Amino acid sequence: MMLLSFGFLIFLTIVFILYWSVFQESAKSQNILLSVSSLIFYGMADWHLLFILIFSILFNFYTARLIARNTMNERPYFLLTGLIINIGVLAYFKFSGFFYAGITSMLGINGNSYDSLHIILPIGISFYTFQAIGYIIDVYNDRISPCCDLLTFTTFISYFPKMTAGPIEPAEHFLGQIEKKREFKYHCAVDGLRQILWGFFVKLVIADNCASIARPIFDNYMHLPASTLLTGAFFYLFQVYADFSGYSNMAIGISKLFGIQLMRNFASPFFATNISEYWKRWNISLSSWMMRYVFYPLSFTLRKFEKPGLIFSIIITFLIIGLWHGAKYTFIVFGLLHGLYFIPVLLAGKINREEVSKSSQLYPEVKDIFKMAGVFVLAMITIIVFGAENIRQAFHYIAGLFSFSIFSAPVFPDHTGYLRAIVTLFFILIMMSVEWIQRNKKHEMQLDSMKSSMLRIGIYYAITLAIFLCGSEVHIDFIYSQF
């Protein structure tokens, strides 16, 4: 069941009503409803996959308790077992095809294709597995106590708003909220609904329209001028951003309806003036997870090597970020490129400059606009690799950009391309303007300080109208739900 379906709307309404009526008595009853409905939500995609989710819940619940119960000398064995099993299960589902293809090609076997293995990637497995790994490491490091209640832990791992594509919640943030009874707060629920509305807007009006422009360009890149390839990369970057940030806004907004705050996952990444700042704003839950559990211990181990140690750690961290997306060389190169982007920043020691968008000025300074454009171009190059079918396509696509045809007018393979591009560009500008105006708020639609109710209602109508009139007729599944 996808977030953008009528079935989900019915499901959400039923759970919401039950949650604040029949099940509102205690934290326990609220968690019973959330756990059961989350397992139903998950099982409706494919009930076989429920076994893997339930295994992950039980395994990590008891592993954390074993870690906490044992002496300091014995703890590492339990942690190691926990890590091996979690990563092993994840790797089996994500990478067996990659290795199968590699081995069969190495041995020159042309037999059964990988598809014949029938290995389906369980929805959200990368997200809930990382959440569980973070939890057992935190217990090992005494950052948190192990959860004593299996019901609470089941809610933490399986909570349906974040199940499909995150955010990857830190245990300390989430468990603290669901261990106590949640009270209905009208302003929190309304804030959530506003955030859902914004999520719908960026997904349906921007992401899906960008996809209709970018996909045909990626599919026909060999025959198109550089200006069109640049246009394709531009819209693809906005597609990925709007798709994932739109999803994240919906997930966070839905969760607010149940009185549970999820962590922010995007914070206007295109206002970043260097790559370090960009990653503090893009897929925040994944990047902060990687920083805490991969970069931090690695750079600690290598700290005596100073900057070279830091550079090595960041490259390894980003290679893993790339691999997390799946077993494709394009993802590995995507991660590697982002890791390499950090080198000049680390060498120049400019990782700590104050963020421009935090300041209260009306417009950014010209030099900051150039820096933002620079980061955008770097992000655009890597997103070509991310979206390409293979490395060869990515290389040819990027090479195709270096041509005098960059000065020609873009040609769209689709006859509606020009009009769609202009309309979508207009909405991208609207989105970026809203992000700039709201840059110091918790999300783009935080309107609680807006006094005029007429203005607020006007904004709701305008967004709804834009969704109905300009939303793409072709709906693309959320990109990150496949990871």
Partner 1 sequence: MDRKEISRTVQGILIDILHLDNFEMKENMTAADVPGWDSLSHMVIISKVEKEFNVIFKLRELSKLENLDALIDLIQQKS
Token pair belonging to 169: 């919640």
The minimum distance between CB 139 and partner 1, in angstroms, equals 11
Task: Round to whole Å and give the CA distance between 43 and 47.
Answer: 4
Residue 251 CA, distance from chain mean position: 11
Please state, in angstroms and as integers, the Cα–Cα distance from residue 46 to each residue in 52, 118, 395, 457, following that order.
11, 14, 37, 40
Contact predicate 163/57, CB 8 Å? no
The minimum distance between CB 248 and partner 1, in angstroms, equals 21
Rg (CA), the chain: 23
Question: Which of positions 201-240 make contact with partner 1 (CB under 8 A)?
Answer: none
Q: Residue 301 or residue 433: which is nearer to partner 1 going by CB?
A: 301
The minimum distance between CB 106 and partner 1, in angstroms, equals 39
Q: Residue 33 or residue 291: which is nearer to partner 1 going by CB?
A: 291
Examine residue 299 and tell whether it contacts partner 1 (CB under 8 A): yes
Contact predicate 114/41, CB 8 Å? no
Contact predicate 414/212, CB 8 Å? yes
The minimum distance between CB 352 and partner 1, in angstroms, equals 3
Examine residue 76 and tell whether it contacts partner 1 (CB under 8 A): no
Examine residue 183 and tell whether it contacts partner 1 (CB under 8 A): no
Peptide bond into 167 cis (omega under 30): yes
Question: Which of positions 304-343 make contact with partner 1 (CB under 8 A)?
Answer: 304, 306, 310, 313-314
Task: Round to whole Å and give the CA distance between 152 and 38.
Answer: 13
Q: Which of 115, 183, 354, 473 binds partner 1 (CB under 8 A)?
A: 354
Token pair belonging to 106: 């190495």
Q: What are phi and psi of 35, to 5 degrees?
A: -65, -50
For residue 55, give every residue at least 6 positions away whose Cβ sits within 8 Å of its Cβ, in sequence order, or none. 89
Q: Which of 181, 264, 280, 475 binds partner 1 (CB under 8 A)?
A: 280
Examine residue 303 and tell whether it contacts partner 1 (CB under 8 A): yes
Examine residue 172 and tell whether it contacts partner 1 (CB under 8 A): no
CB atoms within 10 A of CB 155: 28
Examine residue 271 and tell whether it contacts partner 1 (CB under 8 A): no
Q: Residue 110 or residue 352: which is nearer to partner 1 going by CB?
A: 352
The minimum distance between CB 345 and partner 1, in angstroms, equals 8
For residue 35, give every residue at least 6 positions away whose Cβ sits within 8 Å of its Cβ, in sequence order, or none. 151, 154, 155, 158
Task: Round to whole Å and give the CA distance between 448 and 444.
Answer: 11
The dihedral through the CA atoms of 259, 265, 270, 275 has a sign that is: positive
Task: Round to whole Å and give the CA distance between 338 and 341.
Answer: 5
The dihedral through the CA atoms of 134, 309, 266, 428 has a sign that is: negative
State whether residue 169 is helix, strand or coil: coil
The minimum distance between CB 336 and partner 1, in angstroms, equals 18
Examine residue 283 and tell whether it contacts partner 1 (CB under 8 A): no
Q: Which of 13, 105, 141, 390 binds partner 1 (CB under 8 A)?
A: 141
Q: Which of 296, 370, 402, 461 binds partner 1 (CB under 8 A)?
A: 296
Examine residue 291 and tell whether it contacts partner 1 (CB under 8 A): yes
Site map 94..133 versus partner 1, x via CB under 8 A? ----------------------------------------
Token pair belonging to 270: 């295109």
Q: Which of 143, 181, 439, 456 binds partner 1 (CB under 8 A)?
A: 143
The minimum distance between CB 2 and partner 1, in angstroms, equals 34
Q: Residue 353 or residue 396: which is nearer to partner 1 going by CB?
A: 353
Which region among 102-110, 249-257, 260-268, 345-353 touches partner 1 (by CB under 8 A)?
345-353
Examine residue 351 and tell whether it contacts partner 1 (CB under 8 A): yes
Binding-site ranges for partner 1 (CB under 8 A): 141-143, 276, 280, 288, 291-292, 295-297, 299-300, 303-304, 306, 310, 313-314, 346, 349, 351-354
